[in-house]
Amino acid sequence: MKSPVASVLLGILLFAGPVWTLPKPERFQLALQAGGFLPTSERFQSVYPHLWMVGIQMDVALIPDIALWVQGNYLQGEGELTVTADPVKLTMIPATLGGKLFFRHRNLLFYLGAGGCYVWYREKSSVEGISEHRTGQFGYAGTLGLRIHIRSFFLELNSMYRGLKIPAEYDETVKVDAGGIAATLGAGIAF
């Protein structure tokens, strides 16, 4: 390792998991989520200041403390174009597939994960010549969260970063930064 910080983080990941592991981790976890999405691009934020999202998340344990992560969300928002102030409506449906690493302590479950995503993107406006823009694009995602287990049920606080570049309708070579940070609250069941 080139960096001492990277060496310390790798050591924590390798040794903290076995210390915090419960004897019988849940094999399957399913959660419903709701929250907000904050685009990382200031330009995107100026058009869509408030984006709300709902979703479903599923984790399937491959081995103790490592799981396959599948998540689907629905984001929608309305805004105004910055130049013309015409109303515009955005819909994004991201589907994420990746892996998660869990750290357990009593009834608390901390996790971090990374994966890839495919996002279906639609933008509608009343501007002549740009009435609707649809596209699908691949990106990447990272997540960090905390679950509080109460028997087989749990409450969850989740944060997620999604990196995504969408080609502009007027020129495919121009990429619009449509990535951002999401914060959600959720509830689920583990079995």
Following DSSP, what letter does each residue of 92-109 receive, concatenated? EEEEEEEEEEEEEETTEE
Q: What angle do CA 100, 105, 106 make, to 5 degrees?
A: 125
The three-state secondary structure class of 42 is helix
- Tell which wins on pLDDT, 13 or 183: 183
> Mean pLDDT over residues 67-96, rounded?
88
Q: In the chain, what are the domain boundaries?
A: 4-190
Chain CA centroid to CA 95, Å: 9
Q: What is the mean pLDDT of residues 100-129?
A: 88
Do 64 and 103 touch, CB atoms closer than 8 A?
A: no
Model pTM score: 0.76
Q: What is the CA radius of gyration of the chain?
A: 19
What's the rounded mean pLDDT across residues 67-88?
86
Chain-centroid distance, C-alpha 109: 18
Beta partners for residue 110, in sequence order: 103, 146
Q: What kind of fold does domain 4-190 have according to CATH?
A: Porin (2.40.160)
